[in-house]
Amino acid sequence: MKKWFSNNAKWLIGMAGVLVLMAAVPLTTEAHGRRWSGADPALIVNGQTVNLYVEWETGHACDIRGPVELKVLTPKGADTEFLFESNDAFDCDGDGNADTVITTNTVVKEGRGDNIVVFAKFRGERGTRFDTRVEIHVDNEIEAICQGHVNSKIRCNGPEL
Ligand SMILES: [Ca+2]
């Protein structure tokens, strides 16, 4: 009887692992009333997939200068693996052809807290004005949306991981 329970418990744990893997599907960007375009570098923190959506109002891709600078503070003692930077072409003038490539430059450091914190800076021409934002997704769930402006730093507090 004891052995029967033990084998079934192992099977249940195995199935839970399969379900976790199935949840890790690619993401799409959402609109929220306004149109946003963005880049999406990603990392794994304590076994959870963290996608950072750094976004700007659609139509302003050509007003962004240089890579979007990101600094990520991971929870204290976290096991972290950086997956990829973002490197995507965008159509600035709406003619259907890509005119610019926007990249990200992400620095990951261990923080002192239990949660993940993201700082993002979008650089633009002096006098350019448009809104920017950061979304923190963990295992495909939106955990935080933080709004800001070009040429100002956004601080975004994410969940404990
Ligand atoms: Ca174009």
Reported as a single tens digit per residue, the pLDDT across 57-114 is: 988 999 999 999 999 999 999 999 999 999 999 988 788 899 999 999 999 999 999 9
CA of 101 to the centre of ligand 1 (A): 11
Taking the domains of the chain in order of start, what are their residue ranges? 1-29, 34-160
* pLDDT score recorded for residue 21: 40
pLDDT tens digits, 47-59: 999 999 999 998 8
CB atoms within 5 A of ion ligand 1 belong to 91, 93, 95, 97, 99
CA of 129 to the centre of ligand 1 (A): 20
* pLDDT score recorded for residue 1: 46
d(CA 49, CA 150): 27
**Is the full-model pTM beyond 0.85?**
no
Position 137 pLDDT exceeds 90: yes
Return the bridge partners of 102, or none.
Answer: 88
CA of 90 to the centre of ligand 1 (A): 8
**Mean of pLDDT over the chain:** 85
* pLDDT score recorded for residue 92: 81
> Which of 148, 147, 149, 77 minimizes the C-alpha distance to 115?
77
* pLDDT score recorded for residue 91: 87
Return the bridge partners of 118, or none.
Answer: 72, 156
Report angle CA 27, 118, 29 to the nearest 5 degrees.
Answer: 20
* pLDDT score recorded for residue 34: 84
d(CA 123, CA 64): 6
CA of 98 to the centre of ligand 1 (A): 5
Mean pLDDT of 126-146: 96
